[in-house]
Amino acid sequence: MIPPIDAHVRLDTHPTHPSAVQAVLTGTQARVALLALEAAGWTVAATNVLVLSRIDHEEPYWANDAAKHLTAEGIPVEITPQLQEAIDEEWTWPNHPMSWCTRSEIREISNQAQKIHDDIRHGRLLIYAHAHDGHTTVAVGTYLSPGGESVHLHGQDHLRQISDTFNSPAEALTAFQRVHAAAMRPGPAPLTTAERAAIAARSVFDVTTAKSGTPASEPEPVPIYLADAGDHDALLDSFLDEHGEFEKWRTWSDDTTHAIHESQTLRIERVHETQARETAWTVAAYETPVSDRMWHLTATSDTPAPVLQNLLIHLSDGDGWDTATGTQVDEKTVTATTQPLTEAGWKHAWTGHGIRWMSPDGKAGMQFHPLTPQHAQNPATWTIWGGTDPDRPKWTLTASPHTPSSLLAGLAAALAQETGTRQVQPSREHGTRLTASAPATPTVPAGRPANRSR
């Protein structure tokens, strides 16, 4: 008789992502379940907590599949009612180009696309170049396993497919260049909305393990500017794992990590073990690898993790920084940058130092300093902060003149529209819960199909 495995798996909907699933493991042999879930594509997000986040939004289906396999191995699995409802829900992709396929066939097609995405994410498939063929994204790459084939890829997200195979990288690149020479760009294509949402679900996740006799803290949905700072080092490591175009190195004193883009024109500096309100992040962009700094941005040690996550996502998309050519800040760029705040009801007013936008609850703000370019000793044209006192904020993010307006507008939109989580101590009767039972507003807009039938 096989002895029972001392492990228990609780599957639930993700607290901030609309389709992702989380697994909370308990028991002395929880690692057995952890290894099984990792092999099935789940990602460790915290101690004994894993997340399944996919680009095809089929997480409930594959969570149910994982539950069946775990149960067959003798590991008890609990599925919460809200996740069971998502598992039982029937939905279809709107305007799917392969409308003649059955639901099972469409799911298999999207699963193959997911495998391609995972191979790229984990470095098993190296992408040399991408292009837009007038309809969708195409790319060329090589599988790095011994004897791995070179491939052409066609499509994005759940529709990405291998369109052709080659015996060598040279053969694949030559054929790709012959067709797409004018539109070719080096490396993988910028992340899609679905890819960004999947990264956010895996990266911004904080579960605090309860001490003996003490109720565990719970994540509470809050505006992004009130979210917890989280683990900045883990956030950077996750970003670098996802983006091989950045090279990482630490100083000899081990107190600073540098991440440098392969172009040598974008550099991220992360200072570890900083005190509250001290600068912990510096991002700097250069027109060429040897030119003077074009613009820079800083963030303090208490900056909420979702704010930094948004910043890193914009930096990973080349449109967020490498098109900046030093455009002067004018009324048009200020209006475009702050439009998300105005639309969300943030009030603005002139102060003695510029224009200030304040959140409706008075706990965050963004300020434009129009005279900054004439005063080199104070290079911050923009300041974003969290806290009730602008003169003594809990956290700040500053940006110099010429910081791309698209990057700043993206941060403004996140402040106005998105949510994060902060840990709160639950009441005694709810002390055993690890996460909120119902999902909050998504941190990153997701593209799950809306037309469903029950």
pLDDT tens digits, residue range 80-132?
A: 999 999 998 877 777 778 888 888 888 899 999 999 998 888 888 989 889 99
Structure tokens at 196: 């960004």
Domain ranges of the chain: 8-93, 103-190, 218-423
- Provide the pLDDT confidence category of residue 216 given band limits of 50, 70 and 90: low
Residue 239 burial (CB count, 10 A): 22
- Provide the pLDDT confidence category of residue 324 given band limits of 50, 70 and 90: very low
Average pLDDT, the chain: 82
- Provide the pLDDT confidence category of residue 37 given band limits of 50, 70 and 90: very high
> Which range has the worst mean pLDDT, 22-31, 282-291, 337-346?
282-291
| pTM more than 0.85 | no
- Provide the pLDDT confidence category of residue 453 given band limits of 50, 70 and 90: very low
Q: What is the pLDDT of residue 33?
A: 93
> Which range has the worst mean pLDDT, 85-89, 200-204, 379-383, 398-402?
200-204
Whether residue 418 contacts residue 224, with contact meaning beta carbons closer than 8 Å, is answered with yes
pLDDT tens digits, residue range 47-87?
A: 889 999 999 889 999 999 999 999 999 999 999 999 999 99
Q: What is the pLDDT of residue 217?
A: 58
